[in-house]
Amino acid sequence: MTKDLQNLLLEKAEYYEKNWFVEHDPIQIPHRFSKKEDIEISGFLAAVIAWGQRKTIINNANKLMTWMDESPHDFILNHQDSDLVKMQGFVHRTFNSDDLLYFIYALKKIYTEQGGLERAMSQHPEDMQLNLTAFKELFFSWEHLTRTEKHLPNPLKQSSAKRMNMYLRWMVRSSVNGVDFGLWKNISPAQLLMPLDVHTATVGRKLGLLKRKQNDWKSVIELTEVLRTIDPKDPVKFDFALFGIGAFE
Looking at the DSSP bridge assignments, the partners of residue 61 are: none
| Local confidence pLDDT in tens for the 249 residues of the chain | 899 999 999 999 999 999 999 999 999 999 999 999 999 999 999 999 999 999 999 999 999 999 999 999 999 999 999 999 999 999 999 999 999 999 999 999 999 999 999 999 999 999 999 999 999 999 999 999 999 999 999 999 999 999 999 999 999 999 999 999 999 999 999 999 999 999 999 999 999 999 999 999 999 999 999 999 999 999 999 999 999 999 888
pTM of the entire structure?
A: 0.97
- Structural contact between residues 127 and 156, judged by C-beta atoms closer than 8 angstroms: no
Write phi, then psi, for 95 (nearest 5 degrees): -90, 110
Contacts (Cβ under 8 Å, ≥6 apart) of 18: 177, 178, 179
Helices (H), 49-194: 54-67, 72-78, 97-113, 117-120, 128-139, 162-172
Give just the sign of the alpha carbon dihedral 7, 238, 29, 184.
negative
Residue 127 C-alpha from the chain's centroid: 17
Residue 152 C-alpha from the chain's centroid: 11
Separation CA 237–CA 186 (nearest Å):
18
Q: By three-state DSSP, how is residue 195 classified?
A: coil
- Strands (E) across the chain are located at 91-92, 95-96
* Number of domains observed in the structure of the chain: 1
In terms of C-beta density within 10 A (0-12 exposed, 13-18 middle, 19 or more buried), how is residue 36 classed? middle
CA end-to-end span of the chain: 22
Looking at the DSSP bridge assignments, the partners of residue 95 are: 92
- Structural contact between residues 96 and 60, judged by C-beta atoms closer than 8 angstroms: no
Separation CA 185–CA 120 (nearest Å):
13
Q: By three-state DSSP, how is residue 220 classified?
A: helix
The per-residue pLDDT for 1 is 87
Separation CA 245–CA 187 (nearest Å):
28
Q: Return the C-alpha torsion angle 101, 103, 109, 112, nearest 10.
A: -100
Q: What is the CA radius of gyration of the chain?
A: 18
The range of the structural domain enclosing residue 10 comes to 3-248
Q: Which of 126, 128, 108, 124 is nearest to 116 (CA)?
A: 108
